[in-house]
Amino acid sequence: AQKITQTQPGMFVQEKEAVTLDCTYDTSDQSYGLFWYKQPSSGEMIFLIYQGSYDEQNATEGRYSLNFQKARKSANLVISASQLGDSAMYFCAMRFSYSSASKIIFGSGTRLSIRP
């Protein structure tokens, strides 16, 4: 069965430092998509970055990059030069191949707190 695991319930990081949020997944599908979302206290889930299972290069979006290691089934999010506004819950998510592409499943999340 497909599963997303985020092993860090909470993290504290000093402002301007880089931070890595861990995500591992389990699937037997060959085609899938990996996503990271940010959820501030307001509740809205904000899409950050996407990585396809066939993409050979790691995805980058501004200060966000995804460290994709397919053989290890990991898709860690790296935030460079963290800012106070980065404090939020972060969720790793996966969408499966087309036969069940209607499903996006989420990990349990990591609460990131940035210290000034």
Partner 1 sequence: ETGVTQTPRHLVMGMTNKKSLKCEQHLGHNAMYWYKQSAKKPLELMFVYNFKEQTENNSVPSRFSPECPNSSHLFLHLHTLQPEDSALYLCASSQDLYVNTEAFFGQGTRLTVV
**87 binds partner 1, rule: CB under 8 A:** no
Question: Whole-angstrom Cα distance, residue 108 to residue 23?
Answer: 10
| CB closer to partner 1, 79 vs 107 | 107
How many Cβ atoms from other residues are within 10 Å of residue 53's Cβ?
18
Ramachandran quadrant class, 101 (left: phi over 0; alpha: psi -120 to 50; beta: rest): alpha
Of 53, 76, 87, 110, the residue at the interface with partner 1 (CB under 8 A) is 53
**77 binds partner 1, rule: CB under 8 A:** no
Q: Which residues bind partner 1 (CB under 8 A)?
A: 4, 31-33, 35, 37, 42-47, 50, 52-53, 91, 95-98, 101-109
